[in-house]
Structure 1
Amino acid sequence: MKRPFALLLLAALSLASAQAQAQAPQWPAITQQNKPWTRWWWQGSAVNKADLTHLLTQYQQAGLGGMEITTIYGVKGAESQFIDFLSPKWMDMLTHTLTEAGRLGLGIDVAQASGWPFGGPWVTPADASKYVTYTTYLVKGGESLKEPVSFMQKPIINAIGRKVDLKQLSDPIATNKNLQSLALDQVRYEKPLPLQALIAYSEKGQTVDLTSKVGADGKLSWTAPAGTWTLYALFQGGHGKQVERAGPGGEGDVIDHFSKTATDNYLAYFDKAFKGYNVKPIRAFFNDSYEVDDAQGEANWTPQMFAEFQKRRGYDLRQHLPALFGKAADDENKRVLTDYRETISELLLENYTKTWGAWAKTHDALIRNQAHGSPANILDLYAATDIPETEGEDLTRIKFASSAAHVTGKPLTAAETATWENDHFLSSLSDVKKALDRMLLGGVNHTFYHGTAYSPQAAKWPGWQFYAAVEFNPQNPFWTDFGKLNQYAARCQSFMQAGQPSSDVLLYLPTADAYTRPGKVLLQHFDGIEHGFKGMPIAATSEMLLAKGYGYDFISDKQVQQVKATGKTLTTSGGAVYQTLLVPEAHLMPLPTLEQLLKLAQSGATIVLHNQAPDDVPGLGNLATRRAAFKKLMAQVKFAATKQAGVQQATMGKGRLLLGSDVSQLLAQAGVKRESLVDNSLQFTRRRHAKGHYYFLANWGEKPMKGWVPLQTATKSVALYNPMTEQTGMASVRTSAQGTPEVYLQLAPGETCILDTNEGAIAGPAYTYLNPVAAPQPLAGPWELAFVSGGPELPAKLQTRELASWTKLAGEAGKKFSGTATYTTTFAMPQGTGEGWLLDLGRVGQSARVQVNGQPVATLIGPVYQVFLLKSRLRPTNTLTVTVSNLMANRIADMDRKKEEWKIFYNTNMNAKLKENRGADGLFSAEKWEPQDSGLMGPVTLTPASLGAPVQ
C-alpha cells in the first residue's frame, strides 16, 4: 500500500537525512484497544451469520477496534427473523460473532440485558425492584384503631408511543405474550401491598412495634396507652419499572439492585444460557446507566432494608420512621435521611456492582459499567468497575468516571460518545471529532460510539436505525471517510492509554453534605455535579479548577482511606501521585475521613480547606461518641496567619493544613502550579511517563493558535505529534524569563496535538512549522462535478466556475441527494517562493478526500480543510480531485416529504431531539428541512509557504 504523499507538512521530513529520519519520533503501534469501539444494536436480534460476517468485515475495514453487542427492540416486518435473547439460537449467533470477530482482530463486549437496566422475563416479582410507601393513623390513649392497616397500590401503565389497557394484562408481567409490541415502560397492578412495619410513636418519644399485632385481615389488636399516638405503617410495593428498549425475550421487570439474592438469581440465568457454549472471547459484560428511576416514583426499598440498616448504621430505622419521611425535628430528619441514603449506596455497591464483578470473573471477563444516575456515591461504584464508563458533554461529569479510574489504577476509562450531538442525520465527522476530543480532555481513553445498528444487506436504504441521533453505519455517506476519524481516535488513545494519570489535586467529594439535603423523594441520583451537588460549593470549585488549568481528580471518603503520604505528596491505591487534597467547603465529614486527613498531614502532606474546616459528623448512629471524637481531633488543629494574606496554616507533624477563601491562592501555597496554557483558549489533559509527560491539547478557541505555550512540568525537549495529519518531529522549545519551559505550537481552531515531553535533551529531526510567505491565491477552476455514489439517484455530471452547494448547482436531484461526488480541476504550478503551498478548500459539506495528479494526499474531516502541497510533487500542469461526502439529511428529508416509510421500529420509533423536528404523529420528521449545504463550496486557495523553524 502506498503511503499518501504531502500530508500536512509530513512530506517536509524528506528534507532531513536518512539517519535523522531513523531517529524521528515514532507513533505507538496501534492495538485493538487503542481503536474506538462502537455499541452494536441487534434490533430484535434478527441477525444471521452471513450478514454478521459481512458487517464485522466492514467495521474492521473502517478501523473500529471492537463492538459491544446490545440487543434491543425489533423492526416491523422482520418478526419472522426475531431471536429470543439468550435462547440457543441467540447463543449460536453470539458464538459465530465471537469466532468471526477473533478472526478479524475485533474485540467483543456484551450488554448483560436486552436493553437496560438489568432485568428480563426471568426476574420474579420477589427479585424485582421495590419501593416503600407509608400511611399514618392517629390513636388516642384507651382507644383502638378501627380501620384496617392496609394500602391499596394505585395502578400505573406506561408504554412507549401508545396507550395500553392494564386490564388486558396478566400478572405477573412476564406471563404476557405480546411484550415486544406493547413496549411497556412501567406497570403496577392495583393490589394490596404487604406490610413491612407498623410502629407507634407517642408524644413523649416512646415507640412500640405493633407489626406482629396486625392480623391477615389488617385488623390491629392493640389498645393505645395514655397519651396520643401516631402510627406509621410501611408497605412494600413493586416499583414496576420494565427493561427499556428490550428486544424479544428480554422484556420484563428490572431487578432489585439492592438485593444480592436478586443479583445472583439474575446472573444465574446467564450461566444457564451459556452452558455448552464458548463465551471466553467476551472481553467484558456491560451495564448501561442505572435509569431505574426515570419512571413514576423511585425504587428505594429492598426486603432486607431494616436488617441491613441496623447492621450498617448501628440503630433500628423503625425507631425513626417519622424522621425518614421528614416529620421529626430538622436535625434528626437530616441525619436519618443521610443514614438511609448511605445504606442504599452501600447496598448498590456491594449487592449489585461487586457481586456482578465477581460473577464476571468466573467467565474470565471484565465489567464495564455506567454508574452515573445511581442513588449512590458513584465514585465508589466506578472504582468497583474494571472499565468505568461515562457519557455526556460536561467535563466535570465526565471526570467522575476517569477520576475513579485514576485513583484506583484502572487503565481504561470508557465513554458512550456522540449520542445526541445534533438531531438525526445532521452530525458530521467534525462534530463527532469534537465530542471525542471532549472525552479525551475529560480523561477518557476508550471511546465507544453510540452507535451502530445491525442492518442486513437486503434492507432498503437507510436501513435499520437506532433512535439516538448519530448513525455510525455503512449506509451513512460519511462512512467513506469514517476510517480517518477512527485512525485519529486510535492515534490519540495510543498515548492516552499509556503512562499514568498526572493530576496535582485530589478534590474531595462532600457526599455527606449532599446526602443531608432533603428533596421531593427519599433518594438522590448522582450524575456529575449538576445532579446531586448543584448549588454546593464543589460545583463552582470544580468548574474553576478546569477554567484555571488545574489538573484534578475527584475522590470519595472510601478512597481517601487508601491514600498514603509519600513525603509531601499523596499516593492513591492505584499508584497515582498528587500534590495536595482540596476539601471544598465541607460542613459534614465522616469521622474516619477526618482521622485520615489529619494522619496524612502528620506524615507530611498538605491538606487544603476552602472557606472552612468541617464542623460536624453526618448521621445519627452513635452520634455523641462520634461527635466528641470529631471535636477532639479538630481541637488539635490550630490555625495561624501566614505571610500570605488570606491564608491560614495549621502545622500537623511533618505536614500542614491550609485554610482560606481563595482556592488559587491556597493551591499556590501548597506548591501546585496551574497550566496557564488555558489562558490561550487551549484545553488539556496530561499523563505521566518514565521520562516526562504526554499532553493532549485542543484549540477550542475561534482563532488559530500560533505562538509559545508554557508547560508546568519539567521539560527540556518535546516530541510533537499531530494525530490528524500524522506529522511528527521535535518541537521548538525555549525557557521563558521566569524559567518556565515553552513549546511553539501552530493549531487551527478545533485542531489538536500530542506532546511527549522529556526531562532530558532528546535529538531528532525538527518539527516543520508552516510559515506563509505571501497572500492566498484563488484556484479559479473551472470544476467538473460528478456524482459517484449515493441516492436516491445520481444527479447529472456538470461543469461550474462558481463553487456552491450541490443542492443549488445540481437542481432538484442535488437537493435530495445524499452520497459522494468528485470535483476535478487543473491548475498550473503557482507562483511563489517557499517549499510549497497550503491548499485550503474553504467550506466543505462535510468531509473530503484530496488527490493531486492521481495520488492521494489527505482525508479532511474538518473543522479546517487544509493540506500542504510540497513543490517537488507538483508539475507544470496539475490535476486536483476533491471527493466530497455529505450527510444523510437531504435524502431523509425527501423521503419524509414523500411520506416514504423508513421509521419501522417497535418501541421508540425515532424520537426527535428538538421539538421543531417533530411531525404530526410526534415522531421525528425532516419534511420541513431546507436542503443542507453539501459538497465543495470554497473558496479554494493556494498560499505560498516555507517550512522550518517558527518565524518569530
Structure 2
Amino acid sequence: MHKLLLVLVLSGVLGQNNPDLSEDNIAVFDFEDYDAEYLDFQKLSDKFFDPPMSSRPGTFWCWLNGDVTKASITKDLEEMKAKGISRAEIWDVAAVYNPEDEYGIGPQFLGDDSVQMIKHALSEGKRLGMRIGMVGSSGWNAGGSWVAPEWASKALYFSNFELKGPQTFSGELPFPELPDHSPKDASGKPVFYKEVAVLAIPENMDRKIEQLDDIIILNKQFDGKVLNWEVPKGNWAIVRFICSNTGQTLIVPSPESSGLFIDFLDPEATKRHLGYILNRLGITLKNAKESGLSYIEFDSMELDRATPWTNAMDSIFHSHHGFDILPFLPVFSGWEIPGGNDNFLYKFNKTVSDQLIFSHYTTGRDFLAQYGMELVAEAGGPGPPIWNTCPVDAIKALGNVSIPRGEFWIRHRNMFLIKEVASASHTYGLGLVDAESFTTWRRWKDAPHDLKKYVDRAFCEGLNTVTIHTFANTRPEHGFPGRTYHAGIDINPGTTWWKQARPFMDYLSRCSYLLTQGLFVADVAYYYGDKAPNFFPEFHDVPEKPGLDGLNPGYDFDIINTDVLLNRMQVQNNRIVLPDGMSYTLLVLPDREDIPDKVVERVENMIQSGAKVLIQGSKLAEKMEGNILTGISIDDALAKLSIPKDFTSESGLFDYIHRKIGKTDLYFVRNKTDKWVTDYCSFRVNRAKPELWDPVKAGQYKIRNVQNVNKITRFPLQLAPHGSCFI
C-alpha cells in the first residue's frame, strides 16, 4: 500500500516565520514501496527544480516595421535563452508610434530579404534549442499582399429596385454598393464579384412577407446585367444580391506588407495561405522537421461588420439544414419573413460559425500537422463588447486548433480571456492553455512584482502556458529603453529589470510545468447553449475570476458546448467522462431557449446510464425523462449528492485550482489581496500528508498542524500580499 501524498507549493509564504512549516528540505519521499509511482513523483520533483524547456515562457517577438538585422536576431535569442525564455514567435508588425522616424522601414513580409531574416532566426533557434513560431501574417489576421480578391474575405451585398406590373421589363439592375476599400478595377467595378440571387417581393408598407411562395426567384431571367421579366400585376421590390470582397486588410502590418484578409469560410483559402508561407520559407513535407519552424499563429478574429458569405454559401447552408437559402435572403435587406427572422438567423449564424471553424481552424490545424507543425490560435474572441463581429462558438473554435490561446490585459477593459480557453482545452483533450500575457497600454511601469498577481489569477483560471506580449527587437543604437510595441508589456534588454528577469521566468516555468501535469479537477460541466456566436462569459467584462450563478467558488467547473456533449461525453460509474480522462460529478443545463432536441435526447440517455443532471429550466424539466435534479441551485445539487467543496479558506480571500496527477493532488492557491493573510484552508483530500513547494525559491517543505477529518485535510496557511501557492 502507498500512503497518499498531497503536495503544497507556496510562494511568498516563507517571508515571515511560519510555525506550521518545517524548513527541512524534503529529499526522501514518504512512500512505503520504491516503485514506479515513486519514480514518477521523483521526476515531478526534479523537473520542479529545473523545469523543462517546454514549460518555459515564450514571447511575441516583434519585428517592428520588419526592421531587423541578423546580428539583432541572434542577440535577441541569446538574451531570451539566458533569461529562461524558450520560445520566440516572430511577429512582423507596424511601429504604430514612430516619432521622428526612429524606427526604420524593413522589407516586405516574406519578400526575399524578409525570408532571409526569418531563415536566420530559424537557424539560430535550432542552435540554441529554442522553439520558433510565427504569426501567420504581418500584423494580424491571416492574409497578405499575395491574397487575390478571388480568395479574399467576402460578404453579401444587395441593391434595391422597384417595378410595377403588369409590364414587359428589360433593363439593367443597380449594382450593390460596396465598401470603399473593396478592390475595384479602373471602371470602379469590383475586381471580384459573384451573382447570388435576384428576388422579386410583393411590396407592402411594413416590409413583411406573407408567404415565402410569394417570392419569385429571377436568376434565370437575369444575365448579370439585364433583367428580362414579364412583370405580374402589382408593385414589386426587386433585390439583387451579390457576393464580393469586404476589402478588409491586415491590422497594423509593417509599412510594406499590407494585404487582404483571406476568405475565412473557404478551406482552400486557408490551405493556399499557409502553403504560400511555407513555400516562401522553402519548407516542404520532406524537410519540415529540420526547418526550425514549430508552429504558426492566427490571432483574434476582428472582422469588419458585414454579412459573412463565400462562393459556396448556398450549398454549404443546404448541406447543414436541407433547404434552399435563397428565399430567405430578404432577411438581410430588411424584410421580415413569415414567423419572424429569428429562426432563420439562428440557423445562418450557426452555419457561419461551423463553416469558419472548419475552413480556418480545423483545416489550418490539419494542414500544418502534415508538416509536423502546430496551429496556435486566439480562436475564442473575446466577444462583445470587445469584439462584436467574431462569429464563432468559441469553445468549438478553440477545440479545433492544436494549442488554444486566450489573452489577459493589465488594467484595460477588464479583458481576461482564460476560463473559456481552459474549458475548451480540457473538454477537447488538448492539454495546453496558452495566453497572450500581460498585454497593456502602460509603458515601462510594471515589474515582476506587479505582473505576478495577474498571471497568478490566470493560473487559477487554467493557464499553463505563458506567451509574453511582447519582446520587441531593439538594437544598441536605439538607446534605452529602445524600441517597443505600442500595446505590450516591455520585456526585452531595454527594460530596467532585464538583468534580474531570470527568477521571474523560473517562477513562471515552475508554475507552468506543474499545471500541465495530470488532469484538471472540476465537479460541474456547464452547458452554455447552442447559439452562435457564443462566448463565456457572454458579455466580456471580467474584473474578477468568472463563475456560475449559484456555484460557490469552492467548486470548479468547465464550460461545454453541443459538440462535446453529443460526441465526447460518456457515463461511467455514475460520472460524466471524456475520452482523455476528464470527469465531472454533475451536468448542468441552464434555463435557456437554445437547447436543441438532440441535446435533450442525449442527456436523457446519459441520465438512464447514471449521470447526475441539474435542469434549471422548469419547462425543460417538466418534459425531461429520467431522474433529474431541478428547482435548486448548483450548490444545493452538489450538497444533495454529498459532494463537499474542493477547497475553502475561512476568509474567502484565497483562490485556487486543483489538478490530479495519478494519486497525487496538486493545488495552486493565491492570495487575492495586497495584504498578508493567514487563514485555515480545507482541501477535499483524505488522509493527506501535505508538503509545501515554493516555486520562487524551489524549496520543498513539510507542513505541520494538519487535521484530517471527514475526508478533508485542513491546516493554516499564510500568504504574502498577492502570494501564491501550489497545494
Q: Tell me the TM-score normalised to structure 2 length.
A: 0.84
Match of 1:822 in 2: none
| 1:432 aligned counterpart, secondary structure | helix
Equivalent pair of 2:23/2:702 in contact (CA under 8 Å):
no
The CA distance in 2 between the partners of 1:540 and 1:346, in whole Å, is 29
Query: What is the deviation of 1:743?
Result: 2.8
- Equivalent of residue 416 in structure 1, options 436, 446, 450: 436
The CA distance in 2 between the partners of 1:686 and 1:92, in whole Å, is 46
- Equivalent of residue 430 in structure 1, options 449, 455, 470: 449
Match of 2:631 in 1: 660
Match of 1:480 in 2: 499
State the Cα deviation string for residues 480-505 of structure 1 (Å, max 9, x = none): 32222111111111110111111111
1:579 aligns with 2:585: yes
Match of 1:510 in 2: 529
More divergent stretch after superposition (371-380 vs 544-553): 544-553
Match of 2:467 in 1: 448
State the Cα deviation string for residues 313-345 of structure 1 (Å, max 9, x = none): 111111222345563257441110011001101
The CA distance in 2 between the partners of 1:191 and 1:599, in whole Å, is 53
State the Cα deviation string for residues 593-617 of structure 1 (Å, max 9, x = none): 22211111111101111233549xx
Letter in 2 for 1:663: I
1:689 aligns with 2:661: yes
Equivalent pair of 1:115/1:244 in contact (CA under 8 Å):
yes
Match of 1:341 in 2: 349
Match of 2:612 in 1: 606
Match of 1:45 in 2: 66
Query: What is the deviation of 1:23?
Result: 4.1
| 2:251 aligned counterpart, secondary structure | coil
1:292 aligns with 2:303: yes
The CA distance in 1 between the partners of 2:223 and 2:23, in whole Å, is 92
Match of 2:377 in 1: 369
Query: What is the deviation of 1:565?
Result: 0.3
| 2:714 aligned counterpart, secondary structure | strand
The CA distance in 2 between the partners of 1:172 and 1:247, in whole Å, is 25
1:109 aligns with 2:133: yes
Match of 2:92 in 1: 71
The residue correspondences of 1:9-408 to structure 2 (distance < 5 A) are 21-23=27-29, 26=45, 28=48, 29-73=50-94, 82-143=106-167, 148-154=172-178, 156=180, 171=184, 194-202=194-202, 203-206=210-213, 207-217=215-225, 219-226=226-233, 228-247=235-254, 250-275=257-282, 279-280=288-289, 281-293=292-304, 297-298=305-306, 300-324=308-332, 327-329=335-337, 331-373=339-381, 374-392=390-408, 397-408=417-428
Letter in 1 for 2:536: G
Equivalent pair of 2:656/2:670 in contact (CA under 8 Å):
yes
Distance change (3 Å), C-alpha of 1:445 and 1:495: same
Letter in 1 for 2:296: F
Distance change (3 Å), C-alpha of 1:193 and 1:274: closer
The CA distance in 2 between the partners of 1:575 and 1:545, in whole Å, is 26
The CA distance in 2 between the partners of 1:557 and 1:16, in whole Å, is 50
Q: Tell me the TM-score normalised to structure 1 length.
A: 0.65
Query: What is the deviation of 1:712?
Result: 2.3
Query: What is the deviation of 1:449?
Result: 0.8
Equivalent pair of 1:7/1:727 in contact (CA under 8 Å):
no
Distance change (3 Å), C-alpha of 1:419 and 1:139: same
| 2:231 aligned counterpart, secondary structure | coil
| 1:197 aligned counterpart, secondary structure | strand
The answer for unaligned runs of 5 or more in structure 1 is: 1-5, 158-165, 174-187, 516-523, 616-633, 638-651, 756-952
Percent sequence identity over aligned pairs: 22
Query: What is the deviation of 1:194?
Result: 4.8
Query: What is the deviation of 1:702?
Result: 4.3
Distance change (3 Å), C-alpha of 1:671 and 1:123: farther
- Equivalent of residue 493 in structure 1, options 488, 512, 524: 512
Equivalent pair of 1:395/1:442 in contact (CA under 8 Å):
no
The CA distance in 2 between the partners of 1:63 and 1:108, in whole Å, is 15
Letter in 2 for 1:459: H
State the Cα deviation string for residues 186-211 of structure 1 (Å, max 9, x = none): xx988996532112245554232102
The CA distance in 1 between the partners of 2:688 and 2:88, in whole Å, is 41
Query: What is the deviation of 1:428?
Result: 2.5
Distance change (3 Å), C-alpha of 1:259 and 1:154: closer
More divergent stretch after superposition (191-200 vs 203-212): 191-200
| 1:312 aligned counterpart, secondary structure | helix
The residue correspondences of 1:528-927 to structure 2 (distance < 5 A) are 528-531=536-539, 542-544=547-549, 548-561=553-566, 562-614=568-620, 635=623, 637=625, 652=626, 656-677=627-648, 679-732=651-704, 734-735=706-707, 740-755=712-727
Kindly report the root-mean-square deviation, in angstroms, between the aligned alpha carbons of the 2 structures: 3.3
Distance change (3 Å), C-alpha of 1:251 and 1:677: same
The CA distance in 1 between the partners of 2:610 and 2:155, in whole Å, is 48
| 2:54 aligned counterpart, secondary structure | coil
Letter in 1 for 2:563: K
Equivalent pair of 1:396/1:542 in contact (CA under 8 Å):
no
Structure with more relative contact order (C-alpha pairs < 8 Å, separation 6 or more): 2
Equivalent pair of 2:161/2:174 in contact (CA under 8 Å):
no
State the Cα deviation string for residues 548-597 of structure 1 (Å, max 9, x = none): 32211111101111100011101123321111111121223222222211
The CA distance in 2 between the partners of 1:191 and 1:68, in whole Å, is 35
Equivalent pair of 1:254/1:292 in contact (CA under 8 Å):
no
The CA distance in 2 between the partners of 1:590 and 1:435, in whole Å, is 38
| 2:489 aligned counterpart, secondary structure | coil
Match of 2:4 in 1: none
Query: What is the deviation of 1:396?
Result: 7.7
Match of 1:787 in 2: none
Query: What is the deviation of 1:734?
Result: 3.2
Match of 1:831 in 2: none
| 1:717 aligned counterpart, secondary structure | coil
Letter in 1 for 2:216: V
The CA distance in 1 between the partners of 2:53 and 2:250, in whole Å, is 31
The CA distance in 2 between the partners of 1:195 and 1:14, in whole Å, is 74
State the Cα deviation string for residues 865-905 of structure 1 (Å, max 9, x = none): xxxxxxxxxxxxxxxxxxxxxxxxxxxxxxxxxxxxxxxxx
Letter in 1 for 2:589: V
Query: What is the deviation of 1:410?
Result: 1.0
Distance change (3 Å), C-alpha of 1:668 and 1:587: farther
The CA distance in 1 between the partners of 2:61 and 2:353, in whole Å, is 31
State the Cα deviation string for residues 368-396 of structure 1 (Å, max 9, x = none): 11012330111111111111000135698
Distance change (3 Å), C-alpha of 1:587 and 1:671: farther
Letter in 1 for 2:521: S
Query: What is the deviation of 1:241?
Result: 0.9
State the Cα deviation string for residues 413-434 of structure 1 (Å, max 9, x = none): 10001101x6222222222112
Equivalent pair of 2:160/2:174 in contact (CA under 8 Å):
no
Query: What is the deviation of 1:288?
Result: 0.8
The CA distance in 2 between the partners of 1:327 and 1:451, in whole Å, is 47
Distance change (3 Å), C-alpha of 1:314 and 1:540: farther
1:468 aligns with 2:483: no
| 1:470 aligned counterpart, secondary structure | coil
State the Cα deviation string for residues 249-281 of structure 1 (Å, max 9, x = none): 531000110012222221221232132685532
| 1:596 aligned counterpart, secondary structure | helix
The CA distance in 2 between the partners of 1:17 and 1:511, in whole Å, is 54
Match of 1:850 in 2: none
Distance change (3 Å), C-alpha of 1:711 and 1:330: farther
Query: What is the deviation of 1:509?
Result: 1.2
Equivalent pair of 1:149/1:214 in contact (CA under 8 Å):
no
Match of 2:5 in 1: none
